[in-house]
Amino acid sequence: MPDVAVVGAGPNGLAAAAVMARAGLSVEVFEAGSTIGGGTRTSELMQPGHFHDICSAVHPMAVASPFFKAFELSRRVNLITPDLSYGSPLDGGRAVLAYRSLDRTSEGLGRDGAAYRRLMAPLVDRIDEIMDFTQNQLIRVPRNPLAAGLFGLRTLEQGTGLWNARFKEDSAPALLAGVAAHAISHLPSLAASGAGLMLGALGHAGGWPIPEGGSAAIAAALAEDIVAHGGVIHTDAPIDRLTDLPSARTTLLNVAPQGLLNMAGNALPDRYRDALESFRYGNGSCKVDFILSGPVPWTAKELADAGTVHLGGTRAEVARAENEVSAGRHPERPYVLVAQQSRFDSGRAPAGHHTLWAYCHVPSGSTRDMTEAITAQLERFAPGFRDLVVDSSAITAAGLAKYNRNYVGGDFSAGTMDLLNLVQRPVVSPVPWRTPLRGVYLCSSSTPPGPGVTGMPGYHAAKYALQDMFGLSVPALGLAAA
């Protein structure tokens, strides 16, 4: 009989398990899949020797997350950080480039360089305080009100019709639109602008790192720590009901609200069950992985040095594509997020070959294969791309939902990204990780602070479980305390 049972071996479930095991408790993790990782899996999808990240690929939030900083992830996983964090190509062979250096980025933005610097510099300078504000409970007084205020005012500006007010040209707005569109939300919106500003500031403060060997290295580091502290991880062990679990004093569930409804049934109080049933999921994604016979032939050659590339064109074009998805349509020219891991990690593909990771947004539950639309956008900014494609593999939004129960409708954010869902995630509460069932806690991305490989939903759930059920505080998580 373990002290703690954890359902789901994605990064949040593993983070929760690591905290509990470090506290000296016996922990068992139950994972439905044959491998651990959830959103941090890496696999040979098509051909031997070609390694593809199945979901997440580039990890600016992992290195800045309070949990992973305490866990000292950067000492456990070799993180390769390109000098060029991300870029956005524009028609005519131009590209807008976001370097780790804010000064260098601003210099490349022409007449809008100074305005961009004024927008971002206060956030970059206060990135730790902003991460503390965004990665902890929103229903509290911020520890640094100045940082929270600066972030809030900029979010308000970039999340409304004022978003172009400080700019004269199209380059800086295109750069900002590329990161804001990560949120899978209509544009402009406050949730998208907040996510984009945070990701943009991280790109200048510390970069957007790529784990050597794939995102699975993050899950492996967490699993190694769990096992080193006595934990046990079971794979091929789906849990359909809470009664399927061994008796344990505490249960931590890395599941979406729908998963908790399915597992707990009528054990949940009516009011809480109603809140879970009304929880809103966002739109989905169609992901396409490519094997290439050479590097992407970008017209703007500087993009070869970018770990991440946002395809969509101008801010107006990106907004048009995202708003079509919000309206339930498949855009003809979708916004496409591309990662070039093999450009920096040679172990991802055999000599002479490259792997390419790409996805676009689609309506929830979509069964449409967007390979052609994604390829067309790549060809638009990299003529000759089609000729390099050796193989490709697509997974639709409906396929993502089957792959991971938490991705309802293909929504890998596990909940729509808007202001209401940021506060009601999945319920309005000072401690939304705590369920009405004694000893049962939610720790998925459907709880604060939401999506991203941060480990923070797991950390928060574990913190309250330790306090409520065992009278313990969070233990030291670094290597020196192992």
Per-residue pLDDT, averaged over 145-173, amounts to: 95
Q: What average pLDDT does the segment 448-456 reach?
A: 93
Burial of 314 per CB tally in 10 Å (0-12, 13-18, 19+): middle
Query: Average model confidence (pLDDT) for the chain?
Result: 95
Of the candidates 453, 478, 474, the residue with the CA atom closest to the CA atom of residue 14 = 453
Q: What is the pLDDT of residue 143?
A: 83
Residue showing tokens 């390099």: 388
Q: How far out from the chain centre does Cα 427 lie?
A: 21
Calculate mean pLDDT across residues 215-242.
Answer: 97
SS (H, E, C) the chain: CCCEEEECCCHHHHHHHHHHHHCCCCEEEECCCCCCCHHHCEECCCCCCCCEECCCCCCHHHHHCHHHHHHCHHHHCCEECCCEEEEEEECCCEEEEEECCHHHHHHCCHHHHHHHHHHHHHHHHCHHHHHHHHHCCCCCCCCCHHHHHHHHHHHHHHCCCCCCCCCCCCHHHHHHHHHHHHHCCCCCCHHHHHHHHHHHHHHHHCCCCEECCCCHHHHHHHHHHHHHCCCEEECCCCCCCHHHCCCCCEEEECCCHHHHHHHHHHHCCHHHHHHHHCCCCCCEEEEEEEEECCCCCCCCHHHHHEEEEEECCCHHHHHHHHHHHHCCCCCCCCCEEEECHHHCCHHHCCCCCEEEEEEEEECCCCCCCCHHHHHHHHHHHCCCHHHHEEEEEEECHHHHHHHCCCCHHHCCCCCCCCHHHHHCCCCCCCCCCECCCCCEEECCCCCCCCCCCCCHHHHHHHHHHHHHHHCCCCCCCCHHHC
**Mean pLDDT, residues 325-342:** 97
What is the pLDDT at residue 436?
A: 97
Q: Provide the pLDDT for residue 26.
A: 98
- Domain 4-57+214-280+413-481 and domain 76-210+283-402, same fold? Reply is no
Q: At what angle do helices 190-205 and 171-180 cross, to 10 degrees?
A: 100
Lowest mean pLDDT, pick from 140-149, 348-357, 424-433, 448-457: 140-149
- Confidence category of residue 138, pLDDT binned at 50, 70, 90: low
Nearby residues of 372 by Cβ (< 8 Å), 6 or more positions away = none
Domains of the chain, by residue range, sit at 4-57+214-280+413-481, 76-210+283-402
Q: What does the pLDDT read at residue 480?
A: 85
Query: Edge to edge, what strands does the sheet with 84-90 contain?
Result: 94-99, 84-90, 306-311, 336-339, 354-362, 284-292, 389-395
How far apart are the C-alpha atoms of 438 and 249, rounded to whole Å? 9
Pairing of strands 354-362, 284-292: antiparallel
Q: CA-CA distance, 336 to 346, in Å (whole number)?
A: 24
Residue 428: what pLDDT?
Answer: 86
pLDDT tens-digit readout, 20-32: 999 999 999 999 9
Q: Which residue has the higher pLDDT, 118 or 148?
A: 118
Q: What is the architecture, at CATH level 2, of domain 4-57+214-280+413-481?
A: 3-Layer(bba) Sandwich (3.50)
Over 80: is that where the pLDDT of 329 sits?
A: yes
Q: Give residue 12's pLDDT.
A: 97
pLDDT of residue 113: 98
pLDDT one-digit tens code per residue, 394-440: 999 999 999 999 999 999 888 887 767 667 789 888 899 999 999 99
Say what the pLDDT of residue 265 is.
Answer: 84
Q: Tell whether the model's pLDDT for residue 137 goes beyond 70.
A: no
pLDDT at site 139: 57
Question: What proportion of the chain, given as a percentage, has pLDDT over 90?
Answer: 91
* CA distance linking residue 44 with residue 51, whole number of Å: 5
> Span 201-212, mean pLDDT?
96
pLDDT value for 370: 98
Average the pLDDT over 381-398 and give the result.
98
Span 71-84, mean pLDDT?
A: 97
β-partners of residue 339 are 308, 357
Q: Using the predicted structure, report yes or no on whether residue 295 has a pLDDT greater than 60.
A: yes
Fold of the 76-210+283-402 domain: Polyamine Oxidase; Chain A, domain 2 (3.90.660)
